[in-house]
Amino acid sequence: MVMVNKLVILLALLLVGCVQSPLSINYHYSTEGIFYDVKIENSNIAYTHLDFEKIREKCSEWIQQAPCWDVNDLITEEAQLTPEEIRVLQGLSSEAKELESYYGPVEGQRCYPYVLQIAAQKITYCSRPDGPAQPEAFAQLTRNIEEIVARTFS
């Protein structure tokens, strides 16, 4: 009887180890003429972006350091991730969770922030020509997300 109980406990622990943890990632950046936002919740992916061709005229001579678009110009598309995409994203996001919360120039200097939120953890990489390169784990995860978006929504 004791051996059966131990076997049941061992099988339960193995099954728990096989259950994937929930996937929650948000990747966002925007500039004067770009809006790129990807929300991933478990197997769902929502991609919000601009169709630049539709706002080309509106933004053609834009010189302000503020968006030339507004929320009415945004398009949201949704799809389901494949099990393989989920597996890869989970692995890359667990590596990215080891990152610090900010990379880039001294906070307050002008730059373009790329923001990754993995569950409750927010990681910002602020891009500018004389700034540091993206941390490798940040670059791998965001590149993978961009590849999924290109494959899924093109």
**pTM of the model as a whole:** 0.81
**CATH number 3.30.1560 given to 21-153:** yes
Q: Tens of pLDDT along 94-139?
A: 999 999 999 999 878 889 999 999 999 999 999 999 989 999 999 9
Checking if the pLDDT of 77 tops 70, the result is: yes
Q: Where are the domains of the chain?
A: 21-153
Rounded CA separation 8/135 (Å): 43
| Contact criterion met (CB below 8 Å) for 35 and 48 | yes
Enter the tokens of residue 150: 């290109």
